Structure 1
Amino acid sequence: MAGPELSAAQAFIMALPQAQALGLQIEALGDGRAEIVMPYHPQLIGDPATGVIAGGAVSTLMDTASGAAVMSHPQASGVTATLDLRIDYMRPATPGQAIRARAECHHVTRSVAFVRVTASDEDEARPVAMATGAFTVEGKK
């Protein structure tokens, strides 16, 4: 995805109220892949005793990155909605560190796109969470 299509996808994602509230930043977007970063912020803490980011913020990051990957896939129309997102939380994110979601839309049918996504802090060898999802899609006309 390049030019106006990429700009439109980025504008759409960044217009989402959840993306704004979480401070999401698109690092890369195109060809069925998306990389989005969520900076650490005290307002996102789920457990004040540990300073760990809330799981809901992580799931929103992963869902947004997944949808962005679908929107940027060459076979997709650019419009999508989440059908299913199964997340495995593997460990708490390190307090004070940003969380990065990398999503890949690896298969597209006439009506469903399938995505894999990983969320990591600075220790990329040990993911915070991994997910697989299914998203609505309309083929390009």
Structure 2
Amino acid sequence: MSLTSEQGSLTGMASRFVEQLTQCRKLKLKVLEASGKKVLMELPYDAQLVGYPDTGVIHGGVITTLMDTASGCAVVCSIFDKFQLLEISPTLDLRVDYMKPAEPHKPVYGFAECYKLSSSVAFTRAIAYQDSIDNPIAHAVGSFMRISPEMVGEEFRLALMGEADDNA
């Protein structure tokens, strides 16, 4: 799935956002593409993520984390693209509907879109899939609180903008 050609700087910012989150580093989540409202991420298969040892199926909580993170990234990108502001946006609500288990030994992709921004809440929809987005593992809808740019710590802002001092 391809997003828009303007994605370069937003993909970098989304990648840096994910790298700031410890659970995402542990899960080895990777941003593949990001645009003004959409994010595509990859969760590589890892035996440590298996919730059902007899089947090799990834635990549902890991799929939820993928969808929550992709949705949060889509919110950050959407706000930055529209307002040129960096806001943090914690999850208010996330509803995930599981349709089938992920196939073992294959990566899972999370595609999320921020489809509506209000003054205080952002709304998202997301799909987790493997071979085709038309054959989802799960889908989610979420809402995220918008917190003013003043609440973003300087160190976090610099890290997301790619301006962090690596020697600090």
Return the TM-score normalized by structure 2: 0.76
For the 8 Å contact 2:94–2:141, the answer to whether it is kept is: yes
Q: 1:5 to 1:34 in 2, by over 3 A?
A: closer
Q: Residues 12 and 54 from structure 1, CA distance in 2 versus in 1: closer, same or farther, beyond 3 angstroms?
A: same
Decide which structure has greater helix share. 2
Q: Alignment partner of 1:130: what SS?
A: strand
Equivalent residues of 2:10, 2:36 under 8 A apart = no
Gaps of at least 5 residues in structure 1 are none
| Counterpart for residue 70 of structure 1 | 75
Partner of 1:100: 109
Which of 7, 10, 14 is the equivalent residue of 2:12?
7
Single out whichever of 69-78 and 91-100 deviates more from structure 2: 69-78
TM-fit CA distance, 1:117:
0.2
Query: Equivalent of 2:61, from 29, 33, 56?
Result: 56
Residue 30 (structure 2) pairs with residue 25 (structure 1) = yes
Residue aligning to 1:112: 121
TM-score (norm 1): 0.90
Paired residues of 1:72 and 1:78 also in contact (CA < 8 A): no
Unpaired stretches in structure 2, ≥5 consecutive residues: 1-5, 151-168
* Residue 34 of structure 1, CA deviation: 0.6
Stretch deviating more after TM superposition (55-64 or 77-86): 77-86
Aligned to 1:137: 146
**Cα gap change, 1:118/1:105 in structure 2, threshold over 3 Å: closer, same or farther?**
same
Distance between the aligned counterparts of 1:32 and 1:45, measured in 2?
31
Segments ≥4 residues shifted beyond 3 Å:
1-9, 75-78, 138-141
Mapped contact 1:99–1:121 kept (Cα < 8 A): yes
Cα displacement string for residues 75-107 of structure 1 (whole angstroms, at most 9, x for unaligned residues): 364321100000000000011110000000000
Identical residues among aligned pairs (%): 38
The code of the aligned residue for 2:145 comes to: T
CA distance change for structure 1 residues 6 and 51 in 2, over 3 Å: closer, same or farther? closer
Q: Residue 33 of structure 2 contacts residue 39 of structure 2 at CA under 8 Å; is this kept in 1?
A: yes
Distance 1:6 1:127, change over 3 A: closer
User: RMSD value over aligned CA atoms?
Assistant: 2.1
Amino acid at match of 2:113: E
1:122 aligns with 2:127: no
After TM superposition, give the deviation of residue 6 of structure 1 in Å. Answer: 5.2
